[in-house]
Chains A and B, each alone.
Chain A
Amino acid sequence: MSTRAATSIAIALLIAMAVASVLILAYGQSPAHVYAVMLGHTWGDVYGLGQVLFKSTPLIFTGLAVALAFQAGLFNIGAEGQLMVGAFFMALVGAHCTGLPAPIAVSLCLIAGALAGALLGALPGWLRARFGSHEVINTIMLNFIAQALVLWAGRRFFFVEQTVHTPPIADSARLPSLGLAGSAASVGFVVALIAVVAVHGLVQRTRLGFELRALGQNAAAAAAGGIAIDRAIVIAMALSGALAGLVGAGTVLGYKGYYEEGIASGSGFMGIAVALLARNRPLWMVPAALLFGTLAHGGLAVNALVPKEIVEVIQAIVILAIAASSSDLQRLAAQGRR
């Protein structure tokens, strides 16, 4: 099973590379050279590696968020909105942490982000449990609402005059840099790794995880087994939102030091691709996020050879190839047809 999944992923990636090679050739460049430059500027030097880790950090969180919901049979497309409110509240709390010792300040910020994301995730969960309205629609809609509300609240009350960012957080709330040749990689990446282990433990080792998986695989059997389905749906969506809400650990606490309009935007949607690639397994989220982080930073490095759009196309092909090989997506499509 596991080897089969790994094989299908490998095939998907090979196909994606082959198609991308054709595109690069069509642009008049050597694919081997482009790939070599890409690899050299990401895994080949310390700064590049740091940037890859930095770009992977939000993807680990959002990948986990999507995967956890998926384990419970729910499709959270709202990670984008959840990470936005999470990062926003993280920054607001962080700005008021002056004078607090670092462990407390950081914890407060992380809790604020997780809580904000959890609330935004729980809402569509509750709508699903209470009224049966589909979480896919509601999470998509809430992305727009979250974005608009954050922008409005920021402009009206919080943003620094003439800017689209909040005041800086207290120094004690900042997560230290990993010191990788001046790259943006911070301890936020470590926080993401801790989240990976925590979600893995939750899913595999706890009763709640067992109940969520039962719900995801057979809701009727879960109900017959005494699992409170409605409650489990809300909890799954809240936890999923909380994970997305932690994205700010890398971007706000670890890098910028404030919330800025558009920070980490796109990570929420990219998280779906990461979760698909990782087959919803928490431990696989790290390599999956690293791959997309590599593509994101490597794309900048080869900008001189091929236009940035080519790299975006490569990313898109990777996503398509993975999606086509994902049994989860096939299952979801089958549900849609029914």
Chain B
Amino acid sequence: MELVLPALSISGVSKRYGDQLANDDVSLDVASGTVHAVVGENGAGKSTLLQIIYGTVRADTGRMQVLARPVDLTQHHPTAAIACGLGMVHQHFMLVPTLRVVENVVLGREPRQRGRLDLATAARDIAALGERFGLRIDPWRRIEQLTVGEQQRVELVKVLWRGADTLLLDEPTAVLAPTEVDDLFGVLRTLVAAGKCVLLVSHKLDEVNAIADAITVMRHGRVVARMAAGASAAEIASAMVGADVAAQVIAAPTAGRPGTAPRSGVAVLAVRDLVVPRSDGNRGVDHVSFELRPGEVLGVAGVQGNGQSELALALTGLLPVTAGQVRLADVDVTTATPADRRGRGLGHIPEDRLLRGLVLGFDLGENALLGRQHEFTRHGLLARERIAEYAARLIAQSDVRPPDPTLRGSSLSGGNQQKLVVGRELSRPGLRVLICAEPTRGVDVAAAAAIHQRIRAAVDSGVAALIISSDLAELRRLCDRVAVMYRGRFADVLDVAQASDRTLGALMTGVAA
């Protein structure tokens, strides 16, 4: 029998940040021709591990073997990683929007012919790579014209063009729509079939199950379990978060809330024939109408870029509307400012917490105040004691960790940032309508469960909610009805009982008319 060496083998990796051990004696082997998934909650140390392997972060201790070549991880560097055949696709893409695909791919390693930039050859290479691995992409298009899924393909092409044999992917599905996830997984299978290996980091259990050949589970910086393909979601989840939380997450109803029939009563949010212009290449909103009653939850599903973002921005007053009417608690707020809408009981959990939810340079107390500054001022002066009291309470109630109001927003993990934003918006006095987009995107299982619980509690107390999400299971868990947005319109509005993946998928892709 031939001895097969792992393509990538790391051992004894530790990394300390202050008094936190981000990685604690982590070891793992990735066999060539396989997809290896590292799963864990936010803050479990997965991303740190990936950065150590790629050399953007130096480990305190640890060694690595890449194809039998030893690497000291305390002295590692991305240049060395690339030389070892490693390629990294970051969660936030590193692309220049105004440049073409081919220009982005060659950036930093520009091919020259007699001193002149030779893009034509590179473009042919890119086409050939695309053919071979199912990564079809037009080399001459500009990045800004591409969808998020296509941009990710460019990132993959970029590392493959540089000769990577081992691909490191950080949360590769976090920004993708369900159909794009399938495409990505198809590409990854082609890659491993061609002998490459993939090490990816994720916290989406079903996706990990769908693609990984081997799974390493991390918790609090340590490897707590190693599993082969086919482990059940329940097994992985309990390893990730510990048994009790897992039971809660798994036991959460997957179809429908009690009493899914539309509640009676007067609509607290009434939207009629709303038209919103396009923004950044996305489709706008094209004559959308709906009503929300107190305690009712309407979900909005759809492939990214079909007008969902614009709908949320228009309803919160951040994007002007061209036509139609928005009534909030029987008042026409179509042209009202965001502050005015907030004053009338509108809460907003923005799609992108880093863009609109938080000010990263503000401390947690200031972030808790953002959007609620009018509640905590007298004669224009900040009521500092009340603010401190409220911030401490919010941080405790929302279980934001670490619970220190003087920390900057940037020092929190994504899950904790989101818990802060959700808690801030849901604890607003007089909240009547919640506009909520991707409430648990990039958030670990335990935090997601906590966020769902908070939203449900608010709804049970009579808040009406509009929840836009690319996570269909989340929509089914929280909503009474699910609207599917396709090309700026509501393709259909389904009762949650009828909202199966297949039905929603058909509507999302425009297959079902």
Question: Hey, which bits of chain A sit against chain B, CB under 8 A?
Answer: 205-208, 210-211, 213-214, 217-218, 220-228
Contacts and interface: CB of A to CB of B under 8 A. Distances in A.
A207 B359 contact: no
A210 B375 CA distance: 13
Contact of B342 (A221, A222, A226): A226
Interface in B376-407: 377, 380-382, 384
Given A206-B382, A208-B380, A222 B318 contact: no
B382 A226 contact: no
Contacts, number: 73
Contacts of A211: 373
B197 to A, nearest CB: 35
Given A207-B377, A217-B359, A217-B361, A224 B371 contact: yes
Most interface-central of A205, A211, A225, A227 (chain B CB within 10 A): A225
Given A205-B381, A225-B370, A214 B359 contact: yes
Interface string B327-356: 000000000011101110000101000011
Given A207-B374, A207-B381, A211-B373, A226 B357 contact: no
Given A210-B366, A226-B342, A221 B356 contact: yes
A67 to B, nearest CB: 16
Contact of A206 (B342, B356, B371, B380): B380
6 contacts: A206-B382, A218-B358, A218-B361, A220-B355, A221-B356, A226-B341
Nearest to B378: A207
B290 interface: no
A207 B371 CA distance: 11
Contact of B370 (A206, A214, A228): A214
A207 to B, nearest CB: 4
B350 A207 contact: no
Most interface-central of B338, B359, B362, B366 (chain A CB within 10 A): B359
Contacts of B381: 205-207
B360 A226 contact: no
Contacts of A228: 337, 339
Contacts of B338: 223-226
Q: Closest 4 A-B residue pairs measured CB to CB?
A: A226-B339, A225-B371, A224-B356, A207-B377
B316 interface: yes
Contact of A218 (B360, B377, B380): B360
Contacts of B360: 217-218
B59 interface: no
B502 to A, nearest CB: 35
A50 to B, nearest CB: 36
Interface of B: 316, 318, 337-339, 341-343, 348, 350, 355-362, 366, 369-371, 373-374, 377, 380-382, 384
B348 A224 contact: yes
A226 B338 CA distance: 5
A218 B381 CA distance: 22
A210 B358 CA distance: 14
Given A206-B380, A213-B362, A221-B355, 10 more contacts: A205-B384, A210-B366, A210-B373, A214-B359, A217-B360, A218-B355, A220-B356, A221-B356, A223-B356, A228-B337
A221 B370 contact: yes
Contact of A226 (B337, B350, B361): B337
Q: Majority SS of interface residues in chain A?
A: helix
A224 B380 CA distance: 20
A217 B362 contact: yes
B359 A205 contact: no
A211 B369 CA distance: 10
Given A207-B374, A224-B350, A225-B373, A214 B362 contact: yes
B367 to A, nearest CB: 9
Contacts of B377: 206-207
Contacts of A207: 373-374, 377, 380-382
Given A206-B381, A207-B381, A210-B369, A224 B357 contact: yes
Contact of B382 (A210, A217, A221): A210
Nearest to A223: B318
Contacts of B348: 224
Given A207-B373, A226-B339, A218 B359 contact: yes
A207 B378 CA distance: 9
Nearest to B340: A226
Nearest to A211: B373
Nearest to B370: A225
Contacts of B358: 218, 221
Nearest to B384: A205
Most interface-central of B360, B381, B384 (chain A CB within 10 A): B381
A212 B370 CA distance: 12
Contacts of A217: 359-362
A213 B360 CA distance: 12
Nearest to B371: A225
Nearest to A204: B382
Contacts of A222: 359, 370
Contacts of B380: 206-208
B475 to A, nearest CB: 23
A175 to B, nearest CB: 29
A218 to B, nearest CB: 4
A310 to B, nearest CB: 40
Contacts of A205: 381-382, 384
A225 B338 CA distance: 8
Contacts of B343: 226
Contacts of A214: 359, 362, 366, 370
A226 B355 contact: no
Nearest to B356: A224
Nearest to A218: B359
A222 B374 CA distance: 13
B503 to A, nearest CB: 33
B336 to A, nearest CB: 11
B371 A226 contact: yes
